[in-house]
Structure 1
Amino acid sequence: MPELSRRVLIRAAGRGGLGLLAAPALAACGTSSAAPLRSGPAQIGLWTHDPDYINTFRTAIKDAGLMRGSRFDFGLNVTSSAPADIVTRMIAQAVADGNTPDLVGLNVDQFPRVMHSSIAESLFADLSDTVRPFGDDLLKLSPYSVDGVPYGLESGNAITVLYYRQDLFDKYRVPEALQTWEEFLDYGARLSTEHKVSLGMISTGDNGSIVNGFLQFLLQRGGGFFNAAGDLTLDSPEALEVLEFMTRGVHSGALMALPDPYGSACAAALKSGRLAATAMPNWYNAAGLQANVPEQKGRWRIRTLPRFSGGGHIASTMGGTAFAALKDKPNSEAALELLRRVYLSREGQILRYRFGGYLPTLEPLYKDPELVGTKDEYLGGQKAFGIYRAAAADLPLFYQDASMQVLSDVLGGPVLDALKGRTSPTAALKAGLKAYRQQVKR
């Protein structure tokens, strides 16, 4: 491939993605001429943003039972970087015929960057045959699929449940079994007025946190941003209902407006007891609660989400990371086998839960005795898998499109305007949709 073209494309990658230019460049660069490895020592290049994934894979390759019968003796060459940088560097290296990973961790919000112009098809192994034996038992494939072809395996489902302080619910006489969000808003408004306590939070910081929070509730309500064909579905009664719900909750104080779910403002709200509940994914247990309020061990519990009275699900999802195996490389066969063993076997999924806290993506494992009996001491010894099992059985499907980032960029401001009372939910959605359609022509 001409050096000038490579430099142009690599500069584009450095700006955040190669877009329409990447696919022909990747195809022109060809595939590796090295012979594929069929057995023996396999030093797998692993790129990820999270030390927990590194520790999990390192533990897995040393587990004799999990690796029994493999033709490969696995080792790892690890590269750690920020999620966006991983995708940028991977594409740039592919265009330049450089050093690409064998296994790569892709944050769910970065995956749309490889949905452009067959980039995923050019880089990653098609996992259709790999996942076919599992059928509907394998959860959360859709966000990492392009034209129905899966390219990544989700690490932990990121199942959203309701975290709540049982001691504060008892103190303020909030029923733990409230059935609907509408009931929650009523109790939350009263608590906010009388005690300055809220029963949920809404992110009002950057576009990503604002839009992700909106999407989490929208998926629960039965809506979404895109359908399986990549068509925009935001212009829906469900989207308006959810934004009206969020706006009403913020205005009444039932839902606390915070810049993000992880920073100092949220930590202060948790420590003071002003935030008595929140809808967040399972990973928030460690990353949000234990990280900010370890002293509250034993006070928190989880349950499935209250329903929207208009319908939907008792669960949702936000965030996640999938691993993909790069194709046409000497280590491609070995990398795919390692991915199968760690991500698609019972032993691998249990190991991932034990060492990284990643919930199974195989639905039958939510009934596995070894997991069902697990007690979460931070949650007061609660056997959380009973809750996760019910949530996993009603997890909404989540579809992405290559223009996901465009939508996030143009929607965040209008949603924030609605939450701040500067515009109506109806006007906010119309503004976001108009801006999106001006940029994305279909």
Structure 2
Amino acid sequence: MRHLGPVLPVMLLISLLTLARIATRAPTPRADMVVWVFSDTHTASFRDGGSDGRSLADTFRQQTGRTVDVQQLSFRAIEIRLLSMLLSPESQRDVPDIVPIEISSVGKFFRAPVEDVGLLPLNSYLERRGWLARLLPARLAPYSKHGVIFGVPHDVHPVALAYRKDLFDQAAVDIESAATWPELHRLLARYQQYWRDRGMPERNGIDLPRTSVDAIVMMLLQRGVNLIDDREQIHFEDPRVAQVVAFYARLVAGRDKVAAAAAGGSSANRDLVEGRFGAWLCPDWRSPQLQRYATGLAGKVRLRPLPRFDPGDAPTSTWGGTMFGIPRNCRDPDAAFALLEHLLLTDEALAARARVGHILPPMPDKWNLPAYDEPDPFWSGQKVGRFFADLAPSVPHRYVTPFTQIAATELNEVLAKAVAAADAGREAELESLCRTWLGSAAESLRRRVEFGRFER
């Protein structure tokens, strides 16, 4: 240290002065209202300005005099912090005014009896302001318990089948002609064989994973089946469940497989651009993501409705979703609802949403906006807003309970067995095997539900 000479005392003095200034600095004042978000899309629609430079947060401040701080946190951080806050209802310190909850996590917050759920009941607010009759019942269902609404839905999220039109045209395969899932399977096999015959074995028919049940849940919802419903009735032994699991296993495994799984993150978009997948499931929230991060697809892709298993099935399903709620212990519930209304339900909110992408609002009377009829060059000139709006009335009810995630875990174990059986060449007996495995899974789930039930 000798070579530092007089420099060391000077550095120490500067450090002490800096620490003293930090210690005495006045803390940044908290905004009047705090909104948590976990999605770039939500941040962009709430905080970014339109053509006049004003954001929804800005216009709320101008109308009410209240400042708004939109804070983007990770999904996991919000879930952990919110659960902690709602378990301490007597505290108002640092409690946000509006919080998002992703649909798959809702059950964690609804375990307690209705009167003890840590979110503010919204029925009276929605009814008084006329929103209750305008919101799509299918989207209120996941965010309600015993008729009490705890969240305003942000979205509808109808699901379509996206495909590489350029590559299917080149292979002379008309994917639009497939009315049923089995017909689609056959066409995807033809498409895949075309590219294998030309030395491109990396080109798969469709992007579907072997180890996740998300797409199976989506297919079951299309058929009107929830794994566990809002009355906590288990539907694993519904014959349609075995049919769908067996069919899905044949898509992703065995001699007739036409699917592989895309890599995660940005690599998934690169796989689509490079043509590794001819088709993929596409809820409306994925459209803006592709336009932002997979620009090489522009003009090469189109959307079509989902094929069906039976004529009575819906031409779509739903995948993902977010509710926004108000903690019971927020400082001013009336002001919080006014902000919630401003960010999600007003015409200004819909205009901000339209700037971000094709995510439909949960209000059918707003699905006739002129913006939805504009051709989108990214999707080969298709009117994507209108396409999703036409699917939206058929979006099925999805229920989420404290046991829905456990049900998905049980189903995942059945899928693993089905995939192994398909790989072993047991496709002919696959549906019968699935019925047996699902029966055992149903019994296991019943025991777990009974053991974990909060209310007796």
TM-score bin, normalised by smaller chain = 0.7 to 0.9
Question: CA shift at 1:435, angstroms?
Answer: 2.8
Matches within 5 A, 1:126-275: 126-132=121-127, 133-135=130-132, 137-139=134-136, 140-175=139-174, 176-196=176-196, 197-205=203-211, 210-250=212-252, 251=254, 253=256, 255-258=258-261, 262=265, 264=267, 266-267=268-269, 269-275=271-277
Give 5+ residue unaligned stretches, structure 1.
1-40
Match of 2:393 in 1: 393
The structure with the larger Rg is 2
Is the 2:102–2:323 contact (alpha carbons within 8 Å) kept by the matching residues of 1? yes
Give the aligned length. 395
Match of 1:111 in 2: 106
Amino acid at match of 1:355: V
Is the 1:203–1:260 contact (alpha carbons within 8 Å) kept by the matching residues of 2? no
For the residues of structure 1 that align with 2:276 and 2:408, how far apart are their CA atoms? 30
Is the 2:228–2:407 contact (alpha carbons within 8 Å) kept by the matching residues of 1? no
Is the 2:171–2:194 contact (alpha carbons within 8 Å) kept by the matching residues of 1? no
Is the 1:198–1:254 contact (alpha carbons within 8 Å) kept by the matching residues of 2? no
Is the 1:66–1:348 contact (alpha carbons within 8 Å) kept by the matching residues of 2? no
For the residues of structure 2 that align with 1:155 and 1:295, how far apart are their CA atoms? 29
The 3 A distance-change label for structure 1 pair 254 and 165 is farther
Match of 1:302 in 2: 303
1:92 and 2:84 aligned: yes
Match of 1:55 in 2: 44
The 3 A distance-change label for structure 1 pair 413 and 368 is same
Match of 1:80 in 2: 72
C-alpha RMSD of the superposition: 2.9
The 3 A distance-change label for structure 1 pair 130 and 252 is farther
The 3 A distance-change label for structure 1 pair 56 and 271 is closer
Matches within 5 A, 1:232-381: 232-250=234-252, 251=254, 253=256, 255-258=258-261, 262=265, 264=267, 266-267=268-269, 269-287=271-289, 289-290=290-291, 293-309=294-310, 311-355=312-356, 357-369=358-370, 371-381=371-381
TM-score by length of 2: 0.78
Deviations 1:134-174 (A, max 9, x none): 45642211111111222112222221111111112211222
The 3 A distance-change label for structure 1 pair 381 and 120 is farther
Is the 1:164–1:300 contact (alpha carbons within 8 Å) kept by the matching residues of 2? yes
The 3 A distance-change label for structure 1 pair 428 and 270 is farther
Is the 1:163–1:302 contact (alpha carbons within 8 Å) kept by the matching residues of 2? yes
TM-score by length of 1: 0.80
For the residues of structure 2 that align with 1:293 and 1:64, how far apart are their CA atoms? 28
For the residues of structure 2 that align with 1:365 and 1:413, how far apart are their CA atoms? 41
The 3 A distance-change label for structure 1 pair 420 and 378 is farther
